[in-house]
Amino acid sequence: MGAAYFYHLTEKPLEATLPVLLGKALQAGWRVEVRGTDAAALDRLDRHLWQGDGFLPHGLAGGAHDAEQPVLLTTGAGGNDASCVMSVDGAAVTSEEVAALDRVCILFNAADASAVETARGQWKALTDAGASAQYWAEEDGRWVKKAESGG
């Protein structure tokens, strides 16, 4: 049984935080689905991941090799047998996914009031459904756990 980890991006943008989290997930042996809501935003993120520091194997959904991608950027669900979903831009996740996967990560931008409200709604929906959840925020360059719900 997994858990939902909410990452409140207060200091670094998604483009800086996501590669770090993806690297940790790959080190844990997880296949990852990065689920977004906007194909153009995922395309920009795809280009950023290819241009970033180090090699981070990934693909953008819609290719011939989606099922083999260790990290798949997609607006849908499924495609690479992921054990971890990272939701960006308010992409939906379900309590069933939280229960079935090793980890669900929800990343949201502190400077975007709409994103914060969406994340609050996701926290409430997931914890009300019995999912385990943790809320993490950046403080002085490190992640600090601020809240936890047992599920």
Domain residue spans of the chain: 4-149
Residue type for 47, please? Answer: R
Give the separation between CA 115 and CA 25, rounded to whole angstroms.
23
Give the separation between CA 32 and CA 82, rounded to whole angstroms.
5
Tens digit of pLDDT per residue, the chain (151 long)? 689 999 999 999 999 999 999 999 999 999 999 999 999 999 999 988 888 677 788 999 998 899 999 999 999 877 899 999 999 999 999 999 999 999 999 999 999 999 999 999 999 999 999 999 999 999 998 999 999 998 6
Burial class (CB in 10 A: 0-12, 13-18, 19+), 114: exposed
Going from the C-alpha of 127 to that of each of 45, 84, 102, 119, the distances in angstroms are 29, 18, 17, 12
Give the separation between CA 65 and CA 35, rounded to whole angstroms.
17
pTM of the full predicted structure? 0.94
Tokens of 89: 């831009």
- Kindly report the CATH number that applies to the domain delimited by 4-149: 3.40.50.10110
